[in-house]
Amino acid sequence: MSSLLLMVLLLISSLDWVAAGYPFSRIYAPAFQQNCKTHHPFNHHYHQHQRKRKSFLHVQPPHQGVFQRVSSTSLQLQSSHKKDTPDKNNNHNLPSQQQDSLKIPRHVALICDGNSRWAKKRGLPSSAGHVAGANQLVNILDALKESGVEYATLFAFSTENWKRPQSEIDDLMRIMEESSHKFYHKAMREHVQVQILGDLQDARIPASLRRALRKLQDDTAVKTAQSTQRPPFTVCFAINYGGRQDIVNASLKLAQAIANGTIAPDQVDEALFASMLCTRDIPDPDLVIRTSGECRLSNYLLWNIAYAELYFCNDIYWPDFDQKSWNRALQWYSQRTRKFGGRQQQQQSAQEERPPRANGATASPVEKTK
Ligand SMILES: *[C@@H]1O[C@H](CO)[C@@H](O)[C@H](O)[C@H]1NC(C)=O
Ligand SMILES: *[C@@H]1O[C@H](CO)[C@@H](O)[C@H](O)[C@H]1NC(C)=O
């Protein structure tokens, strides 16, 4: 006990050196890394975290941000020797045993429902809910990225959303524009690639929003192409998007290509068809999350989610979907058996396989809050 106290004190005193520019990292980093390893050796998140730490510790000179990060993780390490203490060293807040068995979906599709209801419950205008939802989205995107997810797709505005009251549509357009300006700097700084899905040519979309989205897409594509961070984290915004419209669009392109002789009818297969969708550059979602009670897909990525796991959290409005909710979704996803239509292990899914579920149906989970 007293030796622990001594270590903590030692650490605290050494932190002053960091603040003074002393190369703290050279002394403590190896010890930290070893300690960490014994706690969660196979944790994907841990490895990511480590990679980042390395770049902090050995490339960048210490400054205030580094100081805080190093000090908090190091101090936590001192107190995390007890078995089964929740692991605060990374963002999952899950016991490390559970972390080891987590499977990370490569692509997560989000339906961020319930902003208006969230606002109404608080006696606020629905625009306040959309603002809160947009802010929460940025947090959750960070959480996804930290967990090792490579693609996140958000259903920002569907082709059916035009049926909403004009005042709400105007609010949504304005909030999307403000959010894209705000997100622009973050995405550029953190090498996030943004991709827009859907029909941006629609005249009902304000020209300024269209410009902001195009800029977001084009500039982040250039930036991530220059980045050495592989794979980049990709965020797709589905705006004025409809799954059926995309399928019809693809069919039209296919028909034209057959008519003009560039494609023969017997060449048509799933892969060719998928290459004509606006989602052609992104892998199929592995996990779909929808908040606030609706258990339907609402014309979202219809072609692409053929084998996705569907997670409906019934009692959470999107602005309340936080890190803990994401952890729960991840744990749920990790327990799914992905069979891709087959009975036994298949090659494509071999690494994802687990013993078959007792119940063959795709169960809708009910997320319990608290
Ligand atoms: C359908 O095709 C048009 C023309 O190529 C394109 O502008 C639009 O974005 C597409 N719509 C969807 C939903 O992909
Ligand atoms: C044929 O049609 C496809 C689909 O519309 C188009 O992409 C392609 O450029 C056309 N090719 C020629 C030679 O007209």
Calpha distance 286→271 (Å, rounded): 18
pLDDT digits (tens, 9 = 90+) for 10-24: 444 443 333 333 333
Q: Is pLDDT above 80 for 79?
A: no
Q: Same domain, yes or no, for 75 and 145?
A: no
Whether residue 357 is contained in a domain is answered as: no
Q: Does residue 245 have its Cβ closer than 6 Å to ligand 1?
A: yes
Give residue 31 CA to ligand 1 midpoint distance, Å: 54
Distance CA 225, CA 203 (A): 31
Annotated active-site positions, please?
Answer: 113, 161
Q: Are residues 161 and 257 part of one domain?
A: yes
- Which domain range does residue 305 map to? 103-338
pLDDT computed for residue 362 by the predictor: 36
Mean pLDDT over residues 152-173, rounded?
Answer: 94
Segment 341-362 mean pLDDT: 42
In the prediction, which pLDDT does 96 show?
Answer: 57
**348 has pLDDT over 90:** no
- Considering the domain architecture, whether residues 44 and 133 belong to the same structural domain is answered as no
Which residues is 109 bridged to in the sheet? 153, 288
For range 312-333, the mean pLDDT: 95
Question: What's the domain count of the chain?
Answer: 2
H-helix or E-strand spanning residue 56: none
Write the secondary structure of 118-167 as one string of H (helix), E (strand) and C (coil).
HHHHCCCCHHHHHHHHHHHHHHHHHHHHHHCCCEEEEEEEEHHHHHCCHH
User: pLDDT at position 24, please?
Assistant: 32
Asked whether the CA dihedral 149, 99, 92, 29 is positive or negative, the reply is negative
The number of the ligand nearest the C-alpha atom of 158 reads 1
pLDDT of 200 > 80? The answer is yes
The one-character DSSP state at 370 is -
Average pLDDT over residues 281-289: 97
pTM of the entire predicted model: 0.69
Residues 182, 55, single domain; the answer is no
Q: Is the beta carbon of 312 within 6 A of some atom in ligand 1?
A: no
Ranked by mean pLDDT, the top range of 50-64, 90-104, 146-160, 329-343 is 146-160
In ligand 1, the atom with minimum distance to the C-alpha of 201 is 7
* 346 pLDDT above the threshold of 50: no
Q: Residue 283: which CATH number? A: 3.40.1180.10
Confirm whether 91 is domain-assigned: no
Q: Tell me what pLDDT residue 35 has.
A: 32
Which has the higher per-residue pLDDT, 303 or 369? 303
